[in-house]
Amino acid sequence: MQAPTSADRQLLDKLRHHVEAIYHDTAIELETCELAVQLQRLMRLENTAAEPQQHVNHWSQRDAIVMTYGDTLLREGEAPLVTLKKFFDDYADEVVTGVHILPFYPWSSDDGFSVLDYSSVNESLGDWENIAAIAEDYRLMADLVINHCSGRSLWFENFLRGRSPGKDYFFTASPDDDLSAVVRPRTSDLLRKVETFEGAKYVWCTFSHDQVDLDFRNPEVLKQFVSIIRHYLDNGVRIFRLDAVAFLWKVPGTSSLNLEETHELVRLLRTLIEYAVPDALLITETNIPNRQNLSYFGNANEAHCVYNFSLPPLLVNALVTGDCSHLKMWMMSMPPAQNGTAYFNFIASHDGIGLRPAEGLLSDGELEALVETMRNFGGHVSYRALEDGQNKPYEINISLFDALQGTTSGADGWGQERFVCAHAIMLGLEGIPGIYIHSLLGTRNDYDRVENSGHYRAINRHQWDYDQLVAELDSQGSAHGKVFTRIKDLLQIRQRQAAFHPNATQFTLHLGDAIFGFWRQSFDRRQSVFVISNVSDRVLPLMLSDINLIGTDDWADLISGTQFHSREQVIDIQPYQTLWITNAAGNEGV
C-alpha cells in the first residue's frame, strides 16, 4: 500500500476537524478519525496529489448559466434531454457556458424536489448518457436536494419498517417540543404523524408532508450524500446547488435555521469536492434575509457562490415604481466577493420572486404594493406561517415577462423594454449571471399549468413544443424571437468586456432615484464600463460629466454603438434604456 502523501494527511486533518465540529454535541458515539477516513474513501481521495489552491476564480466574464427543467422543451419521439442539448447547440452555444438542469431524478412531487432515487435519471427525461453529453459541452449544474427526500422513497419506506438503508435517516420530534421559534417557508404543519415498526412517530417536514427532512445527526446520512456527490462528479456535474441547505440541521427550541452545524457541513462538502475536482463549485440556495444569505460565503471556505436573492424583488420593485433608491442602497451595502467566491445573480427562477430577501430593505407597505401590482399582472402569492399564527406573503409567482408588463399604475406599452432593461442591469453587475430559460425566451404566465397542477409555481414552468418554439425564434415579428435576440446580443457583448469579470471592481453611482448606475473596472484598470439605466417611463437627461468620464479617453455605448466625444455632452436616456458606456482603449469589443 502506498504511504500517505502530505496532501493526504492535510485532507484527513481537515476532515477530522469538520467532523468534530459537526458532531461535538450529539448523542451519537463515533470515532471521528474513522469517519474522516470513510469520507475520504467514499470520495476516492486516497493518495491525494496536492492541496487545492485557495482564492482562485474558476469563472470569467464569458460565463453565463441557463437554468431549466429537463423537460421544458418537448419534441415528439425524442428524449427531452436530447432536445434540450439540441436547443443549446443550435441557438445558444456561443453565449451559454453552463446549464443548470433542475432535479432530473425520479420524484413524487414539487416538480423534482421530492426525490425518490438520487442515483437515477428520470426515465421520462433520458439517461445518464444524455446528462454526460450535456456535461461534455457545457458546465453542468445539478441540484443536491440535501435537506429532505420523498415520503415515498425507499429510504422512507425502510424508515417505517425499521430496515436499512433508511432506518435512522429521518428527523423526528415530539409535538410537546418547543417548536415555536422554527422558521420555515410554509403554512402546513411542521410535524407529520406516521406509523413505524416502533409505533407512532412525528417526522419533521420543513416544506411539505411528502418532503421529509433527513437527520444529519446520523453520520450514515452524511456518507450517503458523499457517495451521491461522487456519483454526480463521475457523470460530469461540476456545480452543485445545495437546495434549501439553510434548514439542514435542526434543534428543537431554536429557529433550526442557519445553525453552526449547517455551516460546518457546507465547509466539509466544499473540502471534499475541491480535493476531488479543484474547479468544481458549490452554490448555496438560501432564500432568506440578505445578511443571513451572505453568511454562506463563510471566510471564503463555504460556498463558492451564493444566490443573490435580494436582487429580484428589489430590481422588479425599481422598474415598476420608477424609483431605484432601495436597489441603490442595497447595492451600496453589499461587500465585494473575495477572490474564489462570487455572487450568483438571477432575476427569475423556477420558483418565484422571493419576498423574505427584501425584508428590512422594503417596508411592509412597499411589499404590499409590490404584491398587489403583481396580482394585477396575473401573478399569485404564496404564504408562510409566522410564530403568532398569522400568514405573511413569502413569494410572488409570476413569469418575469408579465411581472414587468407595466408599473404600479397598470400595464403599458413598455413591457419588452422594461424586461430587457432588467437583464442589461443584471448582466452588468458583479457576479455570475444565471438566466432562467423562460426569461431567455420571453415566456408568459401559464395559467393552464397552474389549473392542471394546483400549484402557483407552475405559472412560470411552461413546457414548449420545440418545433413551435423554433418557429417563434426564427420569426422576425415574434415577441419571443425579439427578446431572445436582444438578450443574446447583450450576452455576446458582455463576454468581451474585462470590466464585466464577476470579481471586477464595482462602485455605485448617485444619479437620482430614476437613473440606476454603477461603475465596473477591470483588474488591470484599463477598461471601465459605466452601466446607466433609466428605470422610469420618462425620457431623462444625463450629463456625462456626472459619471466622471476621463476626458482623455474616447467613450462609446457598447449596446447602441453611440460615440461620445465630450464630457460636457448631455444625452437623453429613453424610458428603460440601458447604456454600457466604456472607454474604447480598454475595451476588447469596440
- How far apart are the C-alpha atoms of 168 and 270, rounded to whole Å? 25
* SS (HEC) of 471-524: HHHHCCCCHHHHHHHHHHHHHHHHHCCHHHCCCCEEEECCCCCCEEEEEEECCC
* SS (HEC) of 536-575: CCCCEEEEHHHHCCCCCCCEEECCCCCEECCCCCEEEECC
- How far apart are the C-alpha atoms of 170 and 206, rounded to whole Å? 12
Residue 557 among the catalytic residues: no
3-state SS assignment for residue 101: strand
Q: What is the enclosing helix (H) or strand (E) of 433?
A: strand 432-436
- How far apart are the C-alpha atoms of 416 and 438, rounded to whole Å? 14
Half-sphere exposure of 520 (CA within 13 A, CB side): 27
- How far apart are the C-alpha atoms of 141 and 69, rounded to whole Å? 12
Which of 110, 243, 402, 537 is catalytic? The answer is 243
Strands 432-436 and 65-68: parallel
Residues forming beta bridges with residue 199, ordered by sequence position:
196
Phi, psi for residue 324 in degrees, rounded to 5: -100, 10
122 in Cβ contact with 140 (< 8 Å) = no
Query: How far lies 483's CA from each of 290, 350, 473, 536, in Å?
Result: 30, 19, 9, 20
Angle, alpha carbons 365-366-368 (nearest 5°): 65
Residues in CB range of 185: below 8 A, 6 or more apart: 206, 207, 287, 356, 384, 394, 395
* SS (HEC) of 308-376: CCCHHHHHHHHHHHCCCHHHHHHHHHCCCCCCCCEEEECCCCCCCEECHHHECCECHHHHHHHHHHHHH
| DSSP result, 19-88 | HHHHSTTSS----HHHHHHHHHHHTT-TT---PPPSS-----TT--EEEE-TTSEE-TTS-HHHHHHHHI
- How far apart are the C-alpha atoms of 359 and 362, rounded to whole Å? 6
Residues in CB range of 163: below 8 A, 6 or more apart: none
**Please, is 164 exposed, middle or buried when counting C-beta atoms within 10 Å of its C-beta (0-12, 13-18, 19+)?**
exposed
Residues in CB range of 358: below 8 A, 6 or more apart: 310, 313, 314, 317, 367
Q: Report the catalytic residues.
A: 243
